[in-house]
Structure 1
Amino acid sequence: MSGQPTSPERVEDEDASLVVIGHTVRVERKRRGWSVASLSERAGVSFGLLSGLERGQGNPSYRALHRIAAALEIPTTKLLTADSATDLVVRAGTGRLLPVEPAAPAHQRVRRELLTPHQQTTLQLIRSTIPPGFSNEHSPFRHLGTEVVTVESGRLLVVHGERRATLEVGDSATYGCSTPHWWANESDGVTVVLGAVTPFEG
């Protein structure tokens, strides 16, 4: 041993890297619909090691990480080279833009910016910039999950099944997405909505 104390900055960096690795493992596991016990068995590592890793704790060996990556069918380098700034932070203005139907008229072209890392989490945060006159009443959304929306500016009509609610700035609505639902911009200008959606519904 060198006898030199480990700097707080180095310990903090190592802890952050472990959190990112654990986050990646958890996302990949959930994407496959596996439990912690199932991945533990497939990878041949202990339940405790894997559970701790997903919480950003422990000191897993390279061999253990290699086994986990092999079980998930991803390169080990995806775990070891994960960059916390890339995986955990989406800088302002850099979010991935979700596709828009090219033939849609201007008043139906909603700008949707993904504010969570693309394909890295089961929770998505999306900022929607909705032009005046927008409504998708004739093609309502219906999918698995739960959504919460908050109006940042403008006014939004939310219709969920037979329920209708007009949201003003600062108002929020939460609903299950398996029920047909649609939005309409009720303001004379652009309405901006921040929405979070998860594939889980209960």
Structure 2
Amino acid sequence: MDNHGGAHLGMLMEHPGVEDQAERAMTAVGALVLQLRREAGYSIGSLAAAAGLSPGLLSQIERGQGNPSLTTLIKLSQALKVPVGRFFDTKDQGGALVRRNDRRRLEVAEDNLIYELLTPDMSGQLGMLRAQIAAGWDNEDAPFKHAGEECVTIVQGRLHVCVNGVGYDLEEGDSLTYDSSLPHWYRNPTSEDAVLIGAMTPPSF
């Protein structure tokens, strides 16, 4: 079960109209899930079963009415065999430069969980992102698993990272490099947000 199901997903920017943008973001995510489900030949019931979700929740997500958490998106991405990064917003960066306020963003607002893409997109040989991991959050029940190699550096707070069953307690300034094809998950055991910078090659978050 997804224990973060009440969290709101949004790709939100720092200006008026945030609620409208969140609604549009959920609609866009729902449309993408519907498209990917049909391309993969799944019914709602079969995809829900493959992802370990209820058909009702999946139907709500596809209609833009659900509030999927990152855990839910991880489960869907794994069932659909696409990277979680497909759910980033899709605005065109228009070149190599990414301004701070123009980062492609994936946000679970109520859980204060934010992923920002630091590279223009995920179509090159290298991907970099900034992640803000909320106090108490973890994805042990739905670990990441994607081809390639990854390095994370903690720039704020502390974070427990588990790779293929081996746990590492990281503090500010610590880095960890690992084979990202192995199951890996994060836990913030503290009462404050943690922030990391991650690099992936190939980009396959």
Compute the TM-score of the two structures, normalised by the length of structure 2: 0.50
SS of residue matched to 1:197:
strand
* CA deviation after TM superposition for structure 1 residue 87, in Å: 1.6
In structure 2, distance between residues paired with 1:98 and 1:146: 21
Query: What is the aligned partner in structure 2 of residue 6 from structure 1?
Result: none
Larger radius of gyration: 1
In structure 2, distance between residues paired with 1:86 and 1:120: 13
Show the 5 A alignment for 1:6-17.
none
Give per-residue Cα distances to partners, 1:8-55, cap 9 Å, x unaligned: xxxxxxxxxxxxxxxxxxxxxxxxxxxxxxxxxxxxxxxxxxxxxxxx
Which residues of structure 2 form unaligned runs of 5+? 1-92
Compute the TM-score of the two structures, normalised by the length of structure 1: 0.51
Query: What is the aligned partner in structure 1 of residue 121 from structure 2?
Result: 118
SS of residue matched to 2:132:
strand
In structure 2, distance between residues paired with 1:149 and 1:163: 16
Query: What is the aligned partner in structure 2 of residue 152 from structure 1?
Result: 155
In structure 2, distance between residues paired with 1:119 and 1:184: 25
* CA deviation after TM superposition for structure 1 residue 130, in Å: 1.0
Q: Contact (CA 8 Å) 1:87, 1:120: kept in 2 or not?
A: no
Runs of 4+ in 1 over 6 A off after TM superposition: none
Matched, 1:178 2:181: yes
Instruction: Figure out how many residues of one structure are paired with residues of the other and give that number.
Output: 112
Q: Could you tell me which of 157, 176, 190 is aligned with 2:193?
A: 190
In structure 2, distance between residues paired with 1:111 and 1:195: 13
In structure 1, distance between residues paired with 2:107 and 2:191: 25
Q: Give the aligned CA root-mean-square deviation in angstroms.
A: 2.3
Which residues of structure 1 form unaligned runs of 5+? 1-84
Q: Which has the higher contact order (CA 8 A, sep 6+)?
A: 2
Q: Could you tell me which of 98, 102, 106 is aligned with 1:90?
A: 98
In structure 1, distance between residues paired with 2:122 and 2:184: 24
* 1:153 aligned partner, one-letter code: Q
Show the 5 A alignment for 1:138-149.
138-149=141-152
* CA deviation after TM superposition for structure 1 residue 186, in Å: 2.2
Give the % identical residues: 40
* CA deviation after TM superposition for structure 1 residue 145, in Å: 1.1
In structure 2, distance between residues paired with 1:139 and 1:90: 30
In structure 1, distance between residues paired with 2:177 and 2:122: 23
